[in-house]
Structure 1
Amino acid sequence: MSIKRVRYYLFLKDILALSLTAFGGPQAFLAMLLERMVKVRNYITEDELWELNALCNMLPGPSSTQLISAIGFRVGGPNLAYLALLVWIIPATLIMIAAAALIYFLQEASPDALNFAKFIQPMAIGFIIFAAQKTISKMVQTTEAMVLVLISTFVAFFYSSPFVFPVLLVIGGLSTSIKYKKQPKLEQDEPLRIQWANFYLWGGVLILAAVLGALTRYQPVLLFENFYRNGSLIFGGGQVLVPYLYAEFVDFKNFLSSEEFLTGYAISQGIPGPTFSISSFVGALSMREYGLIGFLTGGLIAAAGIFLPGIFMIFFVIRFWDQLKKYRPVRAALEGINAVSCGMLIAAAYLLFEPLEANFLNILMILGAYSLLQFTKISSPWIILGGILLGILNNWLF
């Protein structure tokens, strides 16, 4: 076996280890990447890691998955990147499909089966509030950005249609791109050269899925189009995905109940791997009427739809990113896009709370989850497990 093949094998083995142990959100994930990919294996330098992380945060789609793929691309080209993608997402995807099937069959057996999740449903809102606070503190630095946060919060709350969100993102980006003169000038060493193949692939799949969905009205095709469209529009990581999925699949299409969605979101916070795996849970329950085959098909279709756009985009942009990032309007537009994403997060926290009973216990669980995340070093899986145990104990005692 050649040295190159051994290196590729070790890389995929390291990705598998990450997919099974990467608990604790983006900060813990980056720390694990720095330790394993840079210090131990020396696949890339530390500067390259931070540069690729910045690029992935600026693109739509799942940033952790894009970062894994980008590192794989640097190490062994597109083939290794696609293999790394599969190794990274499959464990979390299968766990969330299994969770969806389990919750469905428990509910079929007993209408009160979700009582074990009685406390983790409001705790999930605490997770979103914590994510919103962290995201806002990082991404919102100007008065204009804060105004955009407030406007997008208001619009996303009162008009929760999934078609409103992309419009808000475009308006947000355009509104701050006009301030490009405030960005420092960066000299272009060479002309911008763009290879358009992956962009055409991204756009072609988007159009084809929309046309086939409209013509056939076949649910698996429609499901793929829904998730592919959402995956093409999400800036800011998995927590920003929540209001999109809730608006489309709970409010708009009624494929899931609010309780089911909150339970799935809480579970996704307690497992390793990409936070976008919540999509597999939603996709699986969206096809529950087809039985076990429907769960597996819906979960895998959702995973393909949500992850593919970001992968196409990172493969498209990474080839000319060094030149593109020097254009001031591009950098300026990101401020507005990020601000709108933050506003959607705030709206999501309230929209998810609205169906819950506004009692003392639910509010206590929300504040408790937020406080544990904010003021302690207890990781997300232990907080979720604690909420499940409290729910089981409550059922047993009362």
Structure 2
Amino acid sequence: MNDSEATPSITPMRIFWLFLRLGLTSFGGPAAHIGFFHDEFVKRRRWLSAADYAEVVALCQLLPGPASSQVGLSIGFLKARYVGAAAAWLGFTLPSALALTALSLGLSAWPDAASGGWVAGLKLFVVAVVAHAVWQMGVTLCPDRTRLTLAVLVAASLLVVGSAWMQLLVLVLAGGFGAWRGLPAGAAADSLHLPLRGRWPSGFAVVFALLLGLSFIPLPAGSDGWLAAELYRAGALVFGGGHVVLPWLQEGFVASGVMPADTFLAGYGAAQAVPGPLFTFAAFLGGSEGGIGGAVVALLAVFLPGALLVFAGLPLWSWIRRHPRARAALAGVNAGVVGLLLAALYDPVWTSAVHTPAGLALVLLCWSGLALWRVPVWLLAPLSAVAGALLW
């Protein structure tokens, strides 16, 4: 789509206000966000046809990074080019980012608050959330014995050797296995057409790769450069959405000794209770380490690789969807992602949270609320915190 083809009546400011409203009301995680976007921009406003929207969603699910944020960014780009993309991202991200930054500043000012029973309750809530995510992703991404076995092997490998390089290696091997075995990944959506061409796609790809390479340079832990590198690397290498970012960030912040596990999981639990993208958990991490400036650095770093990949990947999508081997490799990576999250469910989530029978009971109640009774996370998270305060 040329610049002249952008819709002039849809201004960046209008895009910002629409996405800000969605950022204030979109609870429920990436799958729910994509549903909200469909209702708003396909059914209600007719900014996109159903086919074009499906094309955008398919591409964003293929790429690493926060899928729902990438979908919103793509919609903004379609309507008002790069300024529209920035407006969509800022509006959708701002509410949860502000809330989590405020929480991080509050815990920094009153560190004793992080040792209360409410934190124990939030940590147990996180166990239930991650267990529910593993179950849902396993049903969707591991529908046969081969992919389920692959997920189990990935989880076992990471439980034995759980370093960051091992996480990357097993996902690469899972993708290679998927391509070799020709894992079924569904038919290509050749009938769909998205009239979009990214500007300077090779330039975006080069910038993405260059920054990823720089992110592996050792830096002093806790510095702004280290913070940006850790979060850029997580945003660049995470497949499968917000929950899967947990093991990558745990390796960088908890295993390295920069942040206590209690504080880390309390922030992650709070991120479940606010609307908008789960990747704004980065604001909590950055705010805890560097105040408001650290929160801004962390947010930009974790979302930047996903944006670069969208602008670089849009022109390649028509090629990828026609090549069965590429889709088979993606099926292998997706199975590996389930294994990655399964390993994280045990360490650090389970090992740092469940220590008593009462704790296990609260996990079971939270899981039942999510899986059986469909209790919204924005309600279940504070209830878990209150239960933890009463029990401990």
Q: What is the TM-score with the length of structure 1 in the denominator?
A: 0.88
Partner of 1:391: 388
Matched letter for residue 287 of structure 2: A
Note if contact 1:70-1:318 (Cα within 8 Å) is conserved in structure 2. Answer: no
Give, in angstroms, the shift of residue 259 of structure 1: 1.2
1:94 to 93, 98, 118: 98
Matched letter for residue 265 of structure 1: Y
Distance in 1 separating the partners of 2:341 and 2:173:
17
Matched letter for residue 259 of structure 2: L
2:244 to 227, 240, 258: 240
Matched letter for residue 362 of structure 1: G
Give, in angstroms, the shift of residue 4 of structure 1: 2.0
Partner of 2:3: none
Note if contact 1:23-1:271 (Cα within 8 Å) is conserved in structure 2. Answer: yes
Note if contact 2:64-2:235 (Cα within 8 Å) is conserved in structure 1. Answer: yes
Partner of 1:333: 329
Q: Which runs of 5+ in 2 are unaligned?
A: 1-5, 192-196
CA-to-partner distance for each residue in 1:345-369, whole Å, 9 max, x for gaps?
1111111111335211110111111
Alignment of 1:278 onto 2:278: no
Alignment of 1:47 onto 2:44: no
SS in 2 for 1:118: helix
Give, in angstroms, the shift of residue 206 of structure 1: 2.2
Distance in 2 separating the partners of 1:181 and 1:99:
44
Alignment of 1:316 onto 2:312: yes
Partner of 1:229: 233
Alignment of 1:198 onto 2:204: yes
Note if contact 1:93-1:300 (Cα within 8 Å) is conserved in structure 2. Answer: no
Note if contact 2:366-2:380 (Cα within 8 Å) is conserved in structure 1. Answer: yes
Give, in angstroms, the shift of residue 186 of structure 1: 6.7
Alignment of 1:302 onto 2:298: yes
Alignment of 1:66 onto 2:70: yes
Superposed, 1:29-44 pairs within 5 Å as 29-44=33-48
Note if contact 1:122-1:362 (Cα within 8 Å) is conserved in structure 2. Answer: yes
Distance in 1 separating the partners of 2:113 and 2:11:
51
Note if contact 2:246-2:344 (Cα within 8 Å) is conserved in structure 1. Answer: yes
- The root-mean-square deviation of aligned C-alpha atoms, in Å, is 2.6
Give, in angstroms, the shift of residue 179 of structure 1: 2.8
Matched letter for residue 158 of structure 1: V
Distance 1:218 1:140, change over 3 A: closer
CA-to-partner distance for each residue in 1:206-265, whole Å, 9 max, x for gaps?
234445x55x888111111111111111000001111111122112x1111121111111
Distance 1:362 1:324, change over 3 A: same
Distance 1:117 1:332, change over 3 A: same
Alignment of 1:367 onto 2:355: no
Distance in 2 separating the partners of 1:239 and 1:185:
27
Partner of 1:291: none
Alignment of 1:356 onto 2:353: yes
Partner of 1:290: none
SS in 2 for 1:196: helix
SS in 1 for 2:143: coil
Note if contact 2:215-2:233 (Cα within 8 Å) is conserved in structure 1. Answer: no
Superposed, 1:44-193 pairs within 5 Å as 44-107=48-111, 110=112, 113-180=115-182
Matched letter for residue 42 of structure 2: V
Count of paired positions:
380
Distance in 1 separating the partners of 2:390 and 2:183:
59
Note if contact 1:236-1:338 (Cα within 8 Å) is conserved in structure 2. Answer: yes
Distance in 2 separating the partners of 1:371 and 1:184:
32
CA-to-partner distance for each residue in 1:324-361, whole Å, 9 max, x for gaps?
21111110101111111101111111111113352111
Higher deviation after alignment, 225-234 or 199-208: 199-208
Give, in angstroms, the shift of residue 388 of structure 1: 2.2
CA-to-partner distance for each residue in 1:257-303, whole Å, 9 max, x for gaps?
12111111110000011011112212222x2xxxxxx2212222211
Note if contact 1:115-1:391 (Cα within 8 Å) is conserved in structure 2. Answer: yes
Give, in angstroms, the shift of residue 177 of structure 1: 0.7
SS in 1 for 2:379: helix
Alignment of 1:250 onto 2:254: yes
Distance 1:357 1:173, change over 3 A: closer
Alignment of 1:262 onto 2:262: no
Matched letter for residue 10 of structure 1: R
Distance in 2 separating the partners of 1:258 and 1:217:
16
Q: What is the TM-score with the length of structure 2 in the denominator?
A: 0.90
Partner of 1:207: 213
Distance in 2 separating the partners of 1:115 and 1:40:
44
